[in-house]
Structure 1
Amino acid sequence: EFTMPLEDGQKQIGGSVIADFGFELPNDWSIQNTARVMSIRQTWNAVVPFTFQSFDDLAQNALTSTPGGASVDISFVNHEGNPVAESENGLALTAGLWHVNKPLSDFSNQLQVKKKVEDHTFTLGTYFGHYTADNFWFWQNILTDVRNRPRLLNVAVKDAAGNVIRRLTDNGLQQYGSLYDHGQGNVSIASLFAGANLKASERLLLDIGFRYEHDTFKQASENTKAFDLIGGTTDAHKGVLWGDGTFKRGTQDFDEWALSGGANYKVNENISVYGRASRGYKMPILDNYLFGPQANLDAEQLIQGEGGVKVGTPQFGLNAVVYAQQLKDFPSQDARVDPETGETVFETAFVGKARTFGAEIEAVVAPAPGLRLNGTFTLQDPKYTNFIEGGQDFSDNRIRRIPRVLANLSASYTREGFTGNINWKFVGQRWANNANNIELQEFGVLNFGASYR
């Protein structure tokens, strides 16, 4: 029995407590400490489309794989009528019914000590964190027709006498337990950081920062086994994945560092130019270890730089920037369904290198009292530069799911308690996969609203 209704979607129940204190000390010293405790139970439910097939192919495959089969009956689970006759497209869909229960907890503490020397500020600090994540994933496959508000289908094979000799589904469920994952993991984080805000002159400001971090990842993942449910009378009851009570355990340590530097030069009261460069990192997520110990993973490495100009007056603001970044060793994860068994598996590939060059311009205009116009336009070129997955070379392909073009335009007007606004967002064409052969078309979203108080 499922206790997470599909209509809940993603749901979080929990909370956090934050304690923060700071002291101003003599001789321009100060100290600040922030601690947080968090506990949350996150659940989410989704229906994810997998494969389409025609009703003719569905029936033929059922007959071919059933000795003694003479005919196939396809029916609605919760509706009257004939699915085949009523269908406008003649298609059936196998989809995943995904249920995830994920309790999370966290404790973190950050301590900062600051010292002011004339117009400069120096910072030294430490950070410690420990978080846990439990996972219980239990997924099923369902069979539906293809329409708005699709309907669940049952499929049965009959012999020449009209007797049902095989049921492929159970109330629309095509496979119970197509994926099962159960694990408990935790991560401990300890870091040291330092920074400086320097006023080199009345026009020039400099920022530099450094961080060193050590992480320890621990994960226990339950092994799975396929079971046939006792009393089951359909194909859906066979080969159900569930835990067998034994666990795979793994531990990995990471040491990483980050360095950044930036400068801002004030040309005059209305114009400034700036630049920034950094070497950063992103640790693996704990879920990378959920499906069992991995060969030693690498932290993602990020090198980026940007430079731009800012212009500001009481009626007009402009920010124009060009940027470049390179990512190394970042994961690309997909859920794949075995067409023979219906089993869902997660596969993770690590991209050797990827890079993005881009430019963005943002403008704000206040042409009249109460009227404000905003616009942002981004043009970029995200590509893999070294990525081999499953023997295929995807180097020089576009990074999946990232568009080249983004735009956001909005206008708002306020007067005497009335506020009206309109917003248009545009996302350019993207690729859904690393091979760049499944296209996600460009789209725009228009929102508008009004209020009075």
Structure 2
Amino acid sequence: GTGEVVSAPSTINGNGLGLLLNEGTSQATIRNFQNDLRLMKATKSGGALSAGLFTSWMKVRGLAWGYTMVTEVRDLPRRIDIEYLDATSGASLGAGTYQGMRQASTAGGYRNNRTTHKDVAPYLNAEQAWGNWTFDGGLRHETKKESISTAVLRSNYNLNAPGQNNPALRNTVYGSGAFYPMDYNIAATVWTGAANYKFSDRFSAYGRIVNAYRMSSTDDLLTQARARNPDPGPTNHIHQAESGVKYSTKKFSIFASVIGSQLTNQLFAGQIAQPDGSIVATNFYRDTDGVSVELEAFYTPVKPLTFHFVGTQQKVKFASEASVTGLDSAGKFIAVGIKGNRPARIPKTFFTSSAVYKFPEQSWGRVSTNIDWEYVGQRVGDEANRTSLPAYSQFALGVNLKSGRYSWRLQVQNLLDKVGFTEGDPRTALLIGDPNAAYLNARTIGPRSIVGSVSYSF
């Protein structure tokens, strides 16, 4: 540190507060080859057939380190070092941190992984038109084989110099030189079918059903491998039905749909803080049900001006019998059932609205301007639904110049410099929040910022 004393707030942050946070550094090397071979044929009866084979080979080497830091509580905070003093004599008893670190290389942040996986997915799709009707259907079967090697951790490395005993440098976590090898094999099938009826050139309606999946990702499998668990975990199955209408004129177009979905074994992953301050990666599997109404519209009152709106009103809830545990305001251990609760981070209402005006083209190019409005509704801050985050909105203003193959763009994000919270504390309050807490940790949207870019089209 600089030698400034935390107990003299004027030299540090004006309030004497400190914050314990986790900082991570990661790097990865990825080699990937993909190929999608597809055969297509149009039929004389107005249909089309396509058959294909998707293959992918990927090899990844990943390294990561995590550190627990102590910082000030203010804008642009600095790291803080803590020194323990004898209450009577004031003599130094030793440091409690090292260059702002409370713990160097934590168990939750260290990673040394190698993985190779192969995906093979044959698929078939058919489309047929009969009069005003159009039908389509598809089938895909995927197999995934993944071999993982993850480092065995050791937590007894002491990085202190001879004669030193800083607790931040004791029991640091790095690999032992040994690795856990694990092999995982997963397979799943998806199918879909849809029908569209054209009432007129301007109006049509459609319906679709989907039975799909989400396989365990490499991160999911790494969590299993580190626990020496040969089970890859459940495959997330998705059952969905939707129906909608489309209407368009020269100046106005609208697309509206109603969607119902059921998701089983949906993954909710979290980096959860432990009582000792360490961070542990944890996976939770939940079932969810959802119903939503989606609307998209375009309106062009005059040729240079276009308005665009897209929004969703939805109701999503946990459908599985599950409980979350944590501490209440009095520090008492409690368990809360979450069936019927809303998942965190998901608003009931959100939409974006924009207007774009294109000025007449000149010899040096064409200028266009845009203004965008984004609204995100109220969300819950934890799975127990004990805390909530207020709705927020923000505006953006931009100007674009298109000249030949060049495009210059300038955009002001969060034009009015509004404050908005994207989610609650994902480390300590993802499962059970405290509605009586003096404050709520939350992640915020970015402040007002100006972004410029230049692009060239070949």
Return 77-86 or 163-172, whichever deviates more.
77-86
Distance in 1 between residues matched to 2:269 and 2:255, nearest whole Å: 35
Q: 1:146 is matched by which residue type in structure 2?
A: V
Is residue 74 of structure 2 the alignment partner of residue 147 of structure 1?
yes
Change (3 A) 1:78 1:403: farther
Q: Which has the higher strand share?
A: 1
Match of 1:289 among 221, 228, 232: 221
Distance in 1 between residues matched to 2:262 and 2:28, nearest whole Å: 32
Q: 1:249 is matched by which residue type in structure 2?
A: P
CA contact (8 A) 1:224 1:241 kept: yes
Is residue 278 of structure 2 the alignment partner of residue 348 of structure 1?
no
Distance in 2 between residues matched to 1:152 and 1:357, nearest whole Å: 46
**Aligned counterparts, 1:88-167, within 5 A:** 88-118=14-44, 119-159=46-86, 160-167=88-95
Structure 2 residue aligned with 1:331:
267
Distance in 2 between residues matched to 1:269 and 1:423, nearest whole Å: 31
Residue 296 of structure 1 and its aligned partner are, at CA, apart by 3.9
Unaligned runs of 5+ in 1: 1-76
Q: 2:53 is matched by which residue type in structure 1?
A: T
Change (3 A) 1:100 1:438: farther
CA contact (8 A) 1:363 1:376 kept: yes
Structure 1 residue aligned with 2:145:
216
Distance in 2 between residues matched to 1:363 and 1:78, nearest whole Å: 58
Distance in 2 between residues matched to 1:137 and 1:125, nearest whole Å: 38
DSSP 3-state at the match of 1:225: strand
Match of 2:174 among 236, 242, 248: 242
DSSP 3-state at the match of 1:148: coil
Structure 2 residue aligned with 1:184:
114
Residue 220 of structure 1 and its aligned partner are, at CA, apart by 1.1
Q: 2:188 is matched by which residue type in structure 1?
A: E
Matched pairs, number? 374
CA contact (8 A) 1:219 1:250 kept: yes
CA RMSD of aligned residues (A): 1.8
CA contact (8 A) 2:324 2:338 kept: no
Structure 1 residue aligned with 2:456:
none
Residue 335 of structure 1 and its aligned partner are, at CA, apart by 1.0
**Aligned counterparts, 1:431-442, within 5 A:** 431-442=380-391
Structure 2 residue aligned with 1:419:
368
Distance in 1 between residues matched to 2:315 and 2:324, nearest whole Å: 25
Structure 2 residue aligned with 1:279:
211
Residues 29-76 of structure 1: CA deviation (Å, up to 9, x unaligned): xxxxxxxxxxxxxxxxxxxxxxxxxxxxxxxxxxxxxxxxxxxxxxxx
What is the TM-score when the length of structure 2 is the normalising length? 0.78
Identity %: 23
Q: 1:276 is matched by which residue type in structure 2?
A: R
Structure 2 residue aligned with 1:85:
9
CA contact (8 A) 1:182 1:243 kept: yes
Residues 8-39 of structure 1: CA deviation (Å, up to 9, x unaligned): xxxxxxxxxxxxxxxxxxxxxxxxxxxxxxxx
Residue 339 of structure 1 and its aligned partner are, at CA, apart by 2.9
Structure 1 residue aligned with 2:363:
none
CA contact (8 A) 2:324 2:384 kept: no
DSSP 3-state at the match of 1:290: helix
Return 230-239 or 82-91, whichever deviates more.
82-91
Match of 1:376 among 294, 297, 310: 310
Residue 390 of structure 1 and its aligned partner are, at CA, apart by 5.4
**Aligned counterparts, 1:255-274, within 5 A:** 255-274=187-206
Change (3 A) 1:103 1:440: farther
CA contact (8 A) 1:349 1:389 kept: no
Residue 437 of structure 1 and its aligned partner are, at CA, apart by 2.9
DSSP 3-state at the match of 1:339: coil
CA contact (8 A) 2:202 2:248 kept: yes
What is the TM-score when the length of structure 1 is the normalising length? 0.79
Residue 133 of structure 1 and its aligned partner are, at CA, apart by 2.3
Q: 1:101 is matched by which residue type in structure 2?
A: Q
Is residue 234 of structure 2 the alignment partner of residue 306 of structure 1?
no
Unaligned runs of 5+ in 2: 326-334, 361-365, 404-458
Distance in 2 between residues matched to 1:79 and 1:403, nearest whole Å: 46
Is residue 353 of structure 2 the alignment partner of residue 409 of structure 1?
yes
Q: 1:223 is matched by which residue type in structure 2?
A: V
Q: 1:184 is matched by which residue type in structure 2?
A: R
